[in-house]
C-alpha cells in the first residue's frame, strides 16, 4: 500500500492505493484500500483517470479483458496527475 495525496473533485485528500491498473484505452485505475466498505465479490473502489477523474466503485471482471498493465509494485508507478505519493518516514 502507498498513500497518495491530491485534489479530488475540488477537495484535498489522501487515499491508500493498493494496486494500479491501466486499460487499452489508457484509462488508469488506482485501486484503493477501503476496509470499512464491504462490497460484493469483484468490486473495488478506485480513483479513475479516464474521460473524467472520479472516485467510485469498479467491477473488475468487466475491465479485465481490457487490462494491459496491472501491478501492486507502486514504487514503479507515477502518481495520478495532480496527485503525489506521500513518502513514508
Residue 86 lies in a domain: no
pLDDT at residue 9, rounded to an integer: 55
Residue 87 lies in a domain: no
Higher pLDDT, 10 or 65: 65
Residue 69 lies in a domain: yes
Q: What total of structural domains would you count in the chain?
A: 1
Question: What is the C-alpha separation between 3 and 39, in angstroms, rounded?
Answer: 22
- Whether pLDDT at 10 is above 60: no
Residue 66 lies in a domain: yes
Question: What is the C-alpha separation between 63 and 75, in angstroms, rounded?
Answer: 23
Residue 81 lies in a domain: no
Domain of residue 64: give its range. Answer: 2-74
pLDDT at residue 12, rounded to an integer: 72
Question: What is the C-alpha separation between 58 and 45, in angstroms, rounded?
Answer: 6
pLDDT tens figures, 33-85: 876 767 788 999 999 999 988 999 999 999 999 999 999 999 999 999 989 99
Amino acid at each position: 500500500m502507498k498513500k497518495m495525496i491530491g485534489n479530488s473533485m475540488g477537495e484535498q485528500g489522501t487515499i491508500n492505493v493498493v494496486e494500479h491498473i491501466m486499460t487499452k484505452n489508457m484509462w488508469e485505475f488506482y485501486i484503493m484500500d477501503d476496509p470499512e466498505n464491504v462490497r460484493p465479490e469483484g468490486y473495488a473502489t478506485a480513483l479513475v483517470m479516464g474521460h473524467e477523474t472520479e472516485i467510485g466503485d469498479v467491477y473488475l471482471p468487466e475491465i479485465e479483458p481490457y487490462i494491459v498493465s496491472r501491478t501492486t509494485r507502486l514504487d514503479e508507478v507515477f502518481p495520478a496527475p495532480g496527485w503525489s505519493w506521500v513518502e513514508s518516514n
